[in-house]
Structure 1
Amino acid sequence: MDEYAWPIGPEVPAAASVRESWEATVAALPVEARITGEVIGRQPFGVFIRIDGVPNAIALAEITAMPRGMDLPALGALVSGEVLWHAAHNHQVKLRLDEWRTNDQ
């Protein structure tokens, strides 16, 4: 298996569902909300996460929020974190993972 993978499979919500549910997603996941979920995709720029309890949401934890020297979580890893902001142009919830927090944050 390649180190990187786009989110695919039955656990990934359809793009139309993500778009149609965007307002509800933002309301359910305000900035600073705590989340848990599963890594469903990995790319050099970050990981895509299916958020528990919000089936039509896709989150992205970008490497810009990851401390130097850390690795991206593996596909299938269960993670937790905090909502940083909402990217309306591509309907993504942006996250910082708990494992990426440093003592000065």
Structure 2
Amino acid sequence: MDEYAWPTSAEVRDADVVRRSWAATVAALPVGARITGEIIGRQPFGVFIRIEGFPDAVGLAEITAMPLGTDLPALGARVSGEVFWHAHNHQVRIRLDEWREADE
């Protein structure tokens, strides 16, 4: 089995739902907001996160924020972090705490 997996439809809302709720997501999760969630997808470029309390939001932590020598969190892992950007493609960009701590 490949170590990488896309989130399934049961894990992520339909793209139209995510798009329609984008303004509310940005308002509820401003830059600097703390989040917790679960890893629901892994790709070579980062991990997708289901953000607790925000079922219509898609979180993404990219490897560009990951310190050298660390690994992507596993599917199902519980993570926490901070919102640092709202992307044009309706993704909440997250900097994971475990990556920040590994960088210090």
Give the TM-score taking structure 1 as reference length: 0.94
Match of residue 100 from structure 1 = 99
Q: What SS is found at the alignment partner of 2:30?
A: coil
Gaps of 5+ in 1: none
Match of residue 49 from structure 2 = 49
Moved over 3 A (4+): none
Give the TM-score taking structure 2 as reference length: 0.95
CA shift, 1:57, in A, is 0.2
In 2, the alpha carbon distance for the partners of 1:40 and 1:11 equals 7
The structure with the greater share of residues assigned to helix is 2
Greater displacement, 40-49 / 1-10: 1-10
Residue 40 of structure 1 pairs with residue 40 of structure 2: yes
Aligned sequence identity (%): 76
Greater displacement, 29-38 / 2-11: 2-11
Gaps of 5+ in 2: none
CA shift, 1:10, in A, is 1.3
Number of equivalenced pairs:
102
